[in-house]
Amino acid sequence: MSSSVTATPWRIVSSRATFKDQWISIRTDEVVNGCGVLIPDYHVLEYPDWVNVIPVLADGRVLLAREYRHGVGQVVLGLISGGLTVDDANEPEIAARRELLEETGHTADQLQLALTSFPNAASHNNRVFSFVAQGLSFRTAPVFEVGEAVELTAATPKALIEAIQSGQVVMQAMHVAALYSAQCIGALKPLESTLKRVMEPSSQWPDALQISQSTAS
């Protein structure tokens, strides 16, 4: 079944910056869409490009971060992630290596790009680059920003995917997409279902995920 409608770029009539700080810039465009309809205030969130990192330990487990996310008002399990800065020379791999070292204290012998995607093409102007980091070496204690509290966790890919599929763990969509992409390219080993703590134990995890204290080295 085909459609007679042709998707075409919108025409920007005018554009203005309506908000800007160190975290976000909001641009408001007056546009005419592909059907000729005038939209007087279309808001675009301008962000730097983002990176996700899936650090794979020597035993095949994946390092994850558990952090409070105020948008949903919950502590959320996620990948190592961050945004490109001016110091990254617009190179996603440089940003990925920096985030890996800052948030986990590890360096990686190899970074493999698993996925490039748009976080939300309807309202965001940026891209997200998702890498698999292998050949990890622990170098130093993680260095977090002031006021940032992050717990590190190690999970087997099987346990993590099962928890996501069952709804026991709800992650950011871009992180889930990165994990499935890494699995598709064969970068994640199908290990037995165990999820292990690498820092303080927590009562917040689903009972089915068999948690115990461990180390990330």
pLDDT digits (tens, 9 = 90+) for 22-44: 889 999 999 999 999 999 999 99
Domain locations in the chain as residue ranges: 11-46, 50-209
CA distance 211 to 47: 36
List the structure tokens of 170.
Answer: 């709800």
CA distance 18 to 29: 10
- First-residue to last-residue Cα distance in the chain: 54
Question: What distance lies between CA 151 and its chain's CA centroid?
Answer: 16
Superfamily of domain 50-209: Nucleoside Triphosphate Pyrophosphohydrolase (3.90.79.10)
- Dihedral, CA of residue 74, residue 77, residue 80 and residue 86, to nearest 10: -20
- pLDDT, tens digit, 9 for 90 and up, residues 78-137: 999 999 998 888 899 999 999 999 999 999 999 999 999 999 999 999 999 999 999 999
Residue 215 pLDDT grade (very low, low, confident, very high; cuts 50, 70, 90): very low
